[in-house]
Amino acid sequence: TRHSPFFNPGETATAESLAILHLRRDQLVPVILSDPTNNADGYAEGAVTNTRFGSFPHSTLVNLPWGSQVLASKVDTGSRGRKGNKRKRDETDSDANTPTGGREAGEDVKTAIAAGSGFIHLLPPTPESWTVSLPHRTQVVYTPDYSYVLQRLRVRPGQTIIEAGAGSGSFTHASARAVFNGYPSASEPAQKKRKYGRVCSFEYHEPRANTLRGEMTAHGLDDVVTVTHRDVYADGFNLGEDKSESPKANAVFLDLPAPWLALKHLSRRRVPPKTAQAVTHPETESPAPENTTSSSTPTTTSQDTSPFISPLNPKTPTYLCTFSPCIEQVTATTAALRRLGWTEIEMVEVQHKRVEVRRERIGLHEEGLRGVNSSAANVAEAVGRLREVEGRFKEWNEGPKDGSQAQALKVGRGPDGKSVGGSKAERLAKIKEEFESRKIYKEGRLVHRTENEIKTHTSYLTFAILPREWTEEDEEQCRKKWVADA
């Protein structure tokens, strides 16, 4: 079995496998690493990824331990390129990785930065890093939403989840990890068919479905994810050419413009034509937005005489979530869910806020400097005060005749305001040491800011549960158990 880097990345980056080049927070570049011995592109160094922080030949990445910091290489990006394949830098590296690099980097990296080149960190892919780096073909579901959705859908290893539409595959990767049941151990009998867990993914737009299928193969997820090109409003969720294979899903996630149109297929029995008609045209107070109705709105199932095959697992309840940006879509979905017997219908909005925490250099709080910023009317004034403070410290360190150091010495107090004893020379040395050890410029007040509220609305999540199938046989078994237990 080929191991997916999403499930089992191993210790090191390998050729022909996905890796994430971490430029800096929120700047991640996904790359399928090429075999360094294969220089089909005609370059001595084989494939090269160019970033704003420099060029990274794959030969410098393959076989490195995950987490390695890698320096950019000098690569001739000019004349040697084949026609039509001329290499160029994606962006200039004028701000080459200095903001964090300067502070965190080791000596070799500092030297590299000084020489004008940058570095990256080499990371194994995760659904989270894929979500922020994937090529967008549609709107995508982000981590704060999908992590909440997957736990509410009770998705566990070995289960089956249906998702539609697959779009750019952001949710697909997260759900693949949630259902994945582990690779067989070496001792496991080969003939035993392993239940990996399964994601049945449906997408109406054919090129998108094909791209996602290719990605699943490239990411080693094709054991788990089946991508089907399908209009789910019209044709539902069963698999196979003749749609006769039930996925036996435990959970369903719908990120569709009109989820209510798909619900009649997500039932345990054929929905009577009258009900199907009603959920196709929901009688909501606010009609669904125009762009949410599909051109391929299905006809009712009134003439359908074929046996009904439910795509749901009859032995478990089905957990459903629909993901819709507008409240009108929620209303239409909820109306359809009620008609079709779903229970515990609830709508939730995840308002994820990123809190930015940093030190405010201006807000120095040491003795004698306290309140420097507290009454500053504006930034200019605050900066003015900072300069003044910095000047005082400079004076202190350079030993002015009658600056703050001399003053502190006279008073005999260190930066914490406590008395410092000893001879004059001892006191001077001690106070100086205390000031310096405080790294006072780095000890600004901690401040935090949250993102603007408007940016946090992604979609409304509507959850519902369809109780499990309950047959005569189940009832009989239950009765027998009660009798036996009594």
Measured from the CB atom, the residue of 101 and 169 that comes closer to ligand SAM is 169
Cβ atoms within 10 Å, residue 15: 19
Is there a contact between 203 and 137 (Cβ–Cβ < 8 Å)? no
The CB-of-215 to ligand SAM minimum distance in angstroms stands at: 11
* Of 35, 30, 45, the residue nearest 15 (C-alpha): 35
DSSP letters for 319-379: EEEEEESSHHHHHHHHHHHHHTT-EEEEEEE----PEEEEEETT---STTTTTTTTT--SH
* CA distance from start to end of the chain: 49
Measured from the CB atom, the residue of 139 and 456 that comes closer to ligand SAM is 139
The CB-of-450 to ligand SAM minimum distance in angstroms stands at: 25
Cβ atoms within 10 Å, residue 307: 7
The CB-of-136 to ligand SAM minimum distance in angstroms stands at: 8
Rule CB under 6 A: is residue 233 a binding residue for ligand SAM? yes
The CB-of-319 to ligand SAM minimum distance in angstroms stands at: 17
Residue nearest to ligand SAM (CB): 165
The token duo for 371 is 């309140």
The token duo for 56 is 């990274």
Measured from the CB atom, the residue of 215 and 255 that comes closer to ligand SAM is 255
Strands (E), 133-250: 160-164, 198-203, 225-229
Rule CB under 6 A: is residue 171 a binding residue for ligand SAM? yes
Rule CB under 6 A: is residue 150 a binding residue for ligand SAM? no
Residue 29 φ/ψ, nearest 5 degrees: -120, 115
* Of 300, 292, 309, the residue nearest 237 (C-alpha): 309
- C-alpha 232/C-alpha 265 separation (Å) is 8
Residue 15 forms beta bridges with which residues?
none
For the chain, state the CA radius of gyration. Answer: 31
Stretch that binds ligand SAM, among 94-102, 224-232, 399-407, 453-461 (CB under 6 A): 224-232
The CB-of-12 to ligand SAM minimum distance in angstroms stands at: 29
The CB-of-98 to ligand SAM minimum distance in angstroms stands at: 34
Is there a contact between 116 and 53 (Cβ–Cβ < 8 Å)? no
Rule CB under 6 A: is residue 440 a binding residue for ligand SAM? no
Rule CB under 6 A: is residue 140 a binding residue for ligand SAM? yes
Residue 133 CB partners (closer than 8 Å, separation 6+): 20, 28, 29, 30
Residue owning tokens 């200039």? 92
Rule CB under 6 A: is residue 169 a binding residue for ligand SAM? yes
Rule CB under 6 A: is residue 298 a binding residue for ligand SAM? no
Rule CB under 6 A: is residue 396 a binding residue for ligand SAM? no
The CB-of-218 to ligand SAM minimum distance in angstroms stands at: 16
The CB-of-472 to ligand SAM minimum distance in angstroms stands at: 35
The CB-of-205 to ligand SAM minimum distance in angstroms stands at: 4
Residue 240 zone, left/alpha/beta (φ > 0; ψ -120 to 50; rest):
left
Rule CB under 6 A: is residue 167 a binding residue for ligand SAM? yes
- C-alpha 117/C-alpha 74 separation (Å) is 9
Count of residues in contact with ligand SAM, rule CB under 6 A: 24
Cis, bond preceding 444 (omega within 30 deg of 0): no
Measured from the CB atom, the residue of 229 and 248 that comes closer to ligand SAM is 229
Is there a contact between 160 and 57 (Cβ–Cβ < 8 Å)? no
3-state secondary structure of 70: strand
In a 13 Å sphere around the CA of 73, the CA atoms on its Cβ side amount to 17
Measured from the CB atom, the residue of 181 and 294 that comes closer to ligand SAM is 294
- C-alpha 384/C-alpha 463 separation (Å) is 55
**According to CB under 6 A, which one of 165, 197, 259, 311 is a site residue for ligand SAM?**
165
The CB-of-310 to ligand SAM minimum distance in angstroms stands at: 18
**According to CB under 6 A, which one of 294, 300, 407, 456 is a site residue for ligand SAM?**
294
Rule CB under 6 A: is residue 463 a binding residue for ligand SAM? no
Measured from the CB atom, the residue of 93 and 203 that comes closer to ligand SAM is 203
Measured from the CB atom, the residue of 53 and 130 that comes closer to ligand SAM is 130
The CB-of-131 to ligand SAM minimum distance in angstroms stands at: 8
Rule CB under 6 A: is residue 24 a binding residue for ligand SAM? no
Q: How far is CA 273 from CA 184, 280, 348, 407, in A?
A: 46, 10, 31, 91
The token duo for 286 is 């606010």
Residue owning tokens 């549960």? 465
Residues numbered 251-280 forming contacts with ligand SAM, rule: CB under 6 A: 255-257
Measured from the CB atom, the residue of 163 and 223 that comes closer to ligand SAM is 163
Rule CB under 6 A: is residue 203 a binding residue for ligand SAM? yes
**According to CB under 6 A, which one of 34, 50, 159, 170 is a site residue for ligand SAM?**
170
Rule CB under 6 A: is residue 329 a binding residue for ligand SAM? no
Is there a contact between 414 and 368 (Cβ–Cβ < 8 Å)? no
Measured from the CB atom, the residue of 118 and 298 that comes closer to ligand SAM is 298
Residues that bind ligand SAM (CB under 6 A): 138-141, 164-165, 167-171, 202-205, 208, 230-233, 255-257, 294
